[in-house]
Amino acid sequence: MKKILLFFAITALLTACASYTINGQKVSKEEYSRWATQRVKEGIDSRRFVIDVRSMHPYRGHSRQLSSPYSLELRGDSVISYLPYFGEARNIPYGGGKGLNFIGHLYGYEIHQVKSGLWQVMMGVENDEAKYLYVLEVFDNGSSSIHVSTQERDPISFYGEMNLDGK
C-alpha cells in the first residue's frame, strides 16, 4: 500500500512540474505551444530575436557544451554575434582576429518554411574582417541551430533556444 501511495505522489509531483508558464501565469501545453509559435514567427519576421547557445559542434573535433552565456542577436540590420570559435582559420589578421565575436551588418536575409513547424533563415553578415553565411533553423518551440561558414575559417554549428521572453 505504501508503494502505491508513493507512486501516486511521485506521479502527481511530476505532473505538476510539467506545467507551462507565460509571464508568470500557468497555461496549458496547447496555449504555450501557440504562444511560442507566434513569438518565433514575430521574431523572424521583424528581424529582432536572440538565440541563446548551449553547445557547439566544430567541423573538426569534438562537440562541446558551453557553460558561458553565448548568443546570436539580430536587431534589424545589425547582427551581434557573441559565439566561440574552434577550428582551422586561414588568411586572418595577426592575433586571430575577432572570430565570431563581433557586431556586423546584415546584407542578406531570406526566410523559408522548410516544413510545418520549422523555419530556415539565411543571413549574409559582414564585418571589417570577413563575410559570413549564417543559416538558422528554428522550430516553433524555439529550439534552434546556427550553422556559420566563411572562406577564412572552417564551418561550425551551434545549438540552443530562441529567447521567447524578449529579454
- CATH number of the domain at 32, please: 2.40.128.410
Residue 52 C-beta-side C-alpha neighbours within 13 Å: 10
Residue type, 130: A
Asked whether residue 15 is domain-assigned, the answer is: yes
Give the number of domains in the chain: 1
Instruction: Report if residue 132 sits inside a domain.
Output: yes
**60, 88 Cβ separation under 8 angstroms:** yes
Of the candidates 70, 43, 93, the one whose C-alpha atom is nearest the C-alpha of residue 156 is 70
What is the per-residue pLDDT across 8-51, written as a single tens digit (0 to 9) for each?
Answer: 566 555 555 556 787 778 888 888 889 999 999 999 999 999 99
Does 61 or 63 have the greater pLDDT score?
63
In terms of residue numbers, what domain contains 74?
Answer: 2-19+28-162
Asked, for residue 73, whether it belongs to a domain, the answer is: yes
The predicted model scores a pTM of 0.83
**pLDDT tops 60 at residue 132:** yes
pLDDT score for 7: 56
Longest dimension (CA), the chain: 72
Tell me, what's the pLDDT at 110? 95
Does residue 155 lie in a domain region? Answer: yes
Task: Flag whether 98 is in a domain.
Answer: yes
Pull the grid cell for residue 142. 524555439
| Residue 167 counted as domain residue | no
List pLDDT tens digits, range 66-116.
988 999 999 999 999 999 988 787 777 776 678 899 999 999 999 999 998
pLDDT, residue 51, reads 96
Supply the pLDDT for residue 144.
96
Instruction: Tell me the backbone φ, ψ of residue 117, rounded to 5 degrees.
Output: 90, 5
Output the pLDDT for position 163.
92
pLDDT for 56? 94
**What DSSP letter does each residue of 49-114 carry, written as one string?**
EEEEEEEEEESSS--EEEEEEEEEEEETTEEEEEE---S-B-S--TT---TEEEEEEEEEEEEEEE
Cell, residue 13: 509531483
Q: For residue 137, what are the CA distances in angstroms to 46, 47, 62, 112, 114? A: 16, 14, 21, 10, 9
pLDDT value at position 9?
Answer: 60
Greater confidence (118 vs 151) lies with 118
pLDDT of residue 162: 95
DSSP code per residue over 5-21: HHHHHHHHHHHHHT-EE
More confident site: 6 or 89 = 89
